[in-house]
Chain A
Amino acid sequence: MKYSIDFKVAEKRMLSDNFFRLALQSENPLPTINPGQFVQILPKHSNGLRLPISINDVVSDNIIYLLIRIVGSGTKMLADIEQGETVNMILPLGNGFPMLSADELRKGKRILMVGGGVGIAPFLHLAKEYAKCGITTDVLLGARTEKHILLEKELSQTANLHIATEDGSCGTKGLITAHEILKEHFDRIYCCGPLPMMKAVASVVADKSKCYVSLEERMACGVGACLCCVVKTADGHNRCTCTEGPVFGVDFLGW
């Protein structure tokens, strides 16, 4: 079941560069939200389309966080919203990250999340969900420079944080795909970020069948009605990212 809900902006925090984070509060309790699901948010005063944004964190039964990067007119409009103002969102949309079940987790399994840039957004929620099951996950963050690293504090409270920066100003120097941790054994690898980065990660992991990626196709409706958001899967068919994704197994995509 999906809902169209008005939220109040409880907090807006501008982060480095073009990033900002919103805490959004609804009057009533929200439906269950799985890590990796997204919202379709409507910027105030916009007569344009909604924007798909991942749910960054769920902190109570009526407060969620979004982490957003300003890239164009829609995200710019969103950044102009002030604390106390109202914004409408459709949620929860899409299928989240398939998590290992509590049973599977007891056997000392290892989970890795690889986030590039704003692709880190859904992993705070995911890391916290695994933490609730008693699992400390590994999170690998990639950024251009130290200044571009997001949510370092929040993530390091729930996960083992690893960082790669292109200029070496923080963590290991070099591309995220060159990081040593990718050589270790993991039972599940989740990846979100720019397409070339996800493809590169998928190509270096030992077992593709354990790797899941979250895609950012352009969307119009977000609810499976318009077929604008398709991705071609291994079987040659076009599938909707908004209803069948945005998370897909790398095998299924045929990468």
Chain B
Amino acid sequence: MDKRLETKLGNVILKNPVMTASGTFGYGEEFNDFYDVSMLGGIVVKGTTGSLREGNDAPRMAKTPSGMLNAVGLQNKGVKYFCTEIYPRIKSFNTNMIVNVSGSCIEEYEDVASQINALDNIPAIELNISCPNVKKGGMTFGTNPHSAYEVVSHIRKVYNKHLMVKLTPNVTSVVEIAAAVEDAGADSISLINTLLGLAVDSESRKALLSTITGGLSGAAVKPIALRCVWQVANAVKIPVVGLGGIYSAQDAVEFILCGATAIQIGTANFINPLVGKQVIEGLSEYLDRHNLSNFDEIRGCI
């Protein structure tokens, strides 16, 4: 383990800044065959809601140039099932297991957050106010500074560990939302969630997703993600976790240069199941090559 990579998100210690993104890494177990996922700085598990959700109909994904669209729609078995069935299986992973909390109304977010609050080995939640694939709630909370403030301040009252809030890039001013979320008591901000997109098959004259629109992720979104991280990191005091199109250690360093304290890897896990491990190794190698003692020396230098 390379001590130089150790990072802090508020009171949460990450052994390195590399986490995996919600909805792309299951509960970590799915990738444990490929490498010991406990070596990650953190794992953000699937979006979890108050009760069982079936999600959207198939087809739920479409390939796009340098990326993909998804319309999963928060399929999960609900917070109760998570606490009784999944948590016991994953709590022994020796990394920060973070639960992505979703809902369609403030009460649902509160219900999920307070149940997760009781789990000893979950040091943080990531409040998802940015999902573009559900009709109610989700992104609608994250596109307006007032509703973002409201939901975060409610959760702040019922959740007393590290509260990370995940923002959407589908807004006019991401800085405005970030400031509202910071005011409401968030401990950190992660961004970006997917961008609203659409793919069409000209031959069949149909949209490729059952929901017509979906969330764009992968390499295609990286420039937008870097811009959002740079803007927000310059505007708030709380740490920023950057994600969107990270496929390699170079990509991760780019986010750190734009001000990210930690990063998350999403879509790249589908292409290269070992990417998490390789990014960690690549970050150590970068420090060696540039003669740095840690990433604080270069963080936010753009």
Query: A48 to B23, alpha carbons, bound, how many Å?
Result: 18
B39 CB-CB contact with A under 8 Å:
no
* Cα distance A4–B275 in the bound complex, in angstroms: 12
How many A-B pairs with Cβ below 8 Å?
A: 91
Number of interface residues of A (CB under 8 A): 31
Q: Does A224 contact B (CB under 8 A)?
A: yes
A42 contacts across to B, CB distance below 8 A: 271-272
Interface string of A9-34 (1 = CB under 8 A from B): 00000000000000000000000000
Contact A221 B24 (CB under 8 A): yes
Indicate with 1 or 0, residue by residue over B23-44, a CB within 8 angstroms of chain A CB atoms.
Answer: 1111000110110000000000
**Majority SS of interface residues in chain A?**
loop
Interface contact A225-B24, CB-CB below 8 Å: yes
Given the known inter-chain contacts A225-B25, A227-B75, A238-B55, please indicate yes or no for A4 contacting B273, CB distance below 8 A.
Answer: yes
CB within 8 Å for A49 and B68 given contacts A2-B33, A237-B54: yes
Query: Does residue B70 face the partner (Cβ distance < 8 Å to A)?
Result: yes
Within the complex, the shortest CB–CB distance from A244 to chain B, in Å, comes to 13
In the complex, whether B288 has a CB less than 8 A from a CB of chain A is no
Q: How far is the CA of A227 from the CA of B58 in the complex (A)?
A: 10
Q: Which of B59-67, B189-197, B233-241, B292-300 contacts A (4 or more CB under 8 A)?
A: B59-67
Cross-chain contact A228 with B72 (CB below 8 angstroms): yes
Q: Which of A221, A224, A229 contacts B269 (CB 8 A)?
A: A221
Q: Are B61 and A220 in contact (CB under 8 A)?
A: yes
Contact of A225 among B30, B59, B66, B274 (CB under 8 A): B30
Question: In the assembly, what is the distance between CA of A90 and CA of B271, in Å?
Answer: 10
Chain B interface size, under 10 / 10 to 19 / 20 to 34 / 35 or more: 20 to 34
Residue pair B75, A1 in contact (C-beta under 8 Å): no
* Interface of B: prevailing SS: loop
- B30 lies within 8 A of A224 (CB): yes
Known: A3-B33, A226-B72, A228-B70. A221 touches B60 (CB 8 A): no
**Is A44 close to B, CB under 8 A?**
no
Contact of B57 with A by CB under 8 A: yes
Q: Tell me, in angstroms, the Cα distance from A227 to B62 when the chains sit together.
A: 13
A143 interfacial contact with B, CB 8 Å: no
| Residue numbers in B under 8 Å from A73 (CB-CB) | 63
A228 touches B31 (CB 8 A): no
CB of A101 within 8 A of chain B? no
Q: Is the CB of B24 within 8 A of A230?
A: no
- Is A146's beta carbon under 8 Å from chain B? no
State whether A47 and B54 are in contact (beta carbons under 8 Å apart), knowing that A224-B30, A230-B75 are contacts in the complex: no
Measured between beta carbons, the chain A residues less than 8 angstroms from B61 are 218-220, 226, 228-229
Q: Select one of A48, A49, A74, A223 contacting B31, CB under 8 A.
A: A223
Would you list which residues of chain B between 67 and 125 have a CB under 8 Å from chain A?
Answer: 68, 70, 72, 75
CB within 8 Å of A: which B1-34 residues? 23-26, 30-31, 33-34
Selected contact of A47 from candidates B23, B31, B66, CB within 8 Å: B66
Cα of A81 to Cα of B68 in the assembled complex, Å? 24
B57 nearest CB neighbor, chain A only: A232
B72–A221 touching, CB < 8 Å: no
Q: Which one of B26, B61, B68, B274 has the greatest number of beta carbons of chain A within 10 Å?
A: B61
| A48, B63: Cβ atoms closer than 8 Å | yes
Q: CB distance A226 to B31 under 8 Å?
A: no
Q: Is the CB of A238 within 8 A of B273?
A: no
In chain A, positions 181-224 with a C-beta closer than 8 Å to chain B are: 217-224
Q: Which B residue's beta carbon lies closest to that of A48?
A: B63
Partner of B273, one of A47, A48, A223, A228: A223
Residue in chain A with minimal CB distance to B35: A4
User: How many angstroms from the CA of A63 to the CA of B219 in the assembled complex?
Assistant: 33
CB of A225 within 8 A of CB of B33, answer no
B281 → chain A, closest Cβ, in Å? Answer: 16
Q: Is A53's CB within 8 Å of the partner chain B?
A: no
* Shortest distance from the beta carbon of B28 to any chain A beta carbon, whole Å: 9
B274 contacts which chain A residues (CB < 8 A)? Answer: 4
Q: Does B247 interact with chain A (Cβ within 8 Å)?
A: yes
Contact between chains at B26 and A230 (CB < 8 Å) = no
Query: Given A47-B247, A221-B269, are A228 and B66 also a contact pair (CB < 8 Å)?
Result: no
Closest B residue to A46 by beta carbon equals B271
User: Which of chain A's residues have a CB closer than 8 A to the CB of B269?
Assistant: 221, 225
A121 contacts the other chain (Cβ, under 8 Å)? no
The distance from the CB of A249 to the nearest CB of chain B, in whole angstroms, is 19
17 contacts between A and B (CB under 8 A): A1-B33, A2-B33, A3-B33, A49-B270, A74-B63, A220-B70, A221-B269, A222-B270, A223-B31, A224-B30, A226-B26, A226-B72, A227-B72, A230-B75, A231-B58, A232-B58, A238-B58
Residues of A at the B interface (CB closer than 8 Å) are: 1-4, 42, 47-50, 73-74, 90, 217-232, 236-238
Q: Which 5 pairs across A and B sit closest by C-beta, in order of nearness?
A: A225-B26, A228-B61, A225-B30, A221-B270, A220-B270
